[in-house]
């Protein structure tokens, strides 16, 4: 499922990131925030009254905020972590 659909406070792992859907600089910034295939991720808050605001999520030990179009490019998976990353 996409990160946008991940229920709040349910630990998950990044399965796939569609880097082509992100601009080069946004992709780089996400990488620098520690986002990569296999990274642990947990959605914490959805901003905005009508559900159109950004998403705050925990990536590793960091809390970051991103807009929904970025979150939509990230596919996540719940369940046991695979240690390949």
Partner 1 sequence: MTGLPLIALVGNPNAGKSALFNALTGARQKLGNYPGVTVERKAGRLSLSDGRPIELVDLPGTYSLSPTSPDEQVTRDVILGRQQGERLPDALVVVVDASNLDNHLRFALELIGLGLPTVVALNMVDLATRDGLELDAAVLSRELGVPVISTVAVRKRGLDHLRAELESLLDGSGGMVRASAEQRDFDGLRREARRIARAAIVRETPSRRLTAAVDRVALHPVAGLILLLALLFVMFQAVYAWSEAPIAMIEGVFEAASNAVAAELPDGLLRSFLVDGVLNGVGSVVVFLPQILILFFFILMLEATGYMVRAAFLMDGLMARVGLSGRAFIPLLSSFACAVPGIMATRTIADPKDRLTTILIAPLMTCSARLPVYAVIIGAFIPARTVALGIGLQGLVLFCLYISGIAGAMLAALVLRRTVTKGASGGFLMEMPKYQWPRPQDILLGLWQRAVIFLKRAGTIIFTSTVILWLLLSFPKAPDNGGISQVNYSVAGRIANGLNLVLEPIGFNRDISLALIPAMAAREVAVSALATVYSLDSKEDEAKLERSLGERLKDHWPLPTALAFLAWFVFAPQCISTIAVTRRETNGWKWPLFMIGYLFVLAYAAAGLTYWTATALGLG
Q: List contacts with partner 1 (CB under 8 A).
A: 23, 25-26, 28-34, 36, 44-50, 52-54, 56, 60-67, 69-70, 85
Minimal distance in Å, beta carbon 51 to partner 1?
A: 8
Minimal distance in Å, beta carbon 67 to partner 1?
A: 5
Instruction: Name residue, tokens 């642990």.
Output: 40
Quick one: 80 or 83, whose CB is closer to partner 1?
Answer: 83
* Cα R_g (the chain), whole angstroms: 12
Q: Which of 54, 40, 38 is nearest to 4 (CA)?
A: 54
Quick one: 65 or 77, whose CB is closer to partner 1?
Answer: 65
Helix residue ranges, H only, the chain: 24-32, 68-71
Quick one: 1 or 21, whose CB is closer to partner 1?
Answer: 21
Q: Which of 41, 47, 34 is nearest to 10 (CA)?
A: 41
Minimal distance in Å, beta carbon 16 to partner 1?
A: 15
């Amino acid at each position: 499922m996409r990160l946008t659909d991940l229920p709040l406070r349910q630990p998950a792992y990044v399965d796939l990131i569609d880097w082509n859907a992100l601009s080069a600089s946004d992709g780089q910034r996400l990488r620098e925030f520690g986002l990569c295939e296999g990274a642990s991720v947990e959605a914490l808050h959805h901003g905005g009254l009508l559900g159109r605001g950004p998403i705050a999520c925990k990536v590793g030990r960091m809390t970051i905020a991103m807009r929904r179009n970025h979150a939509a490019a990230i596919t996540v998976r719940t369940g046991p972590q695979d240690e390949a990353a």
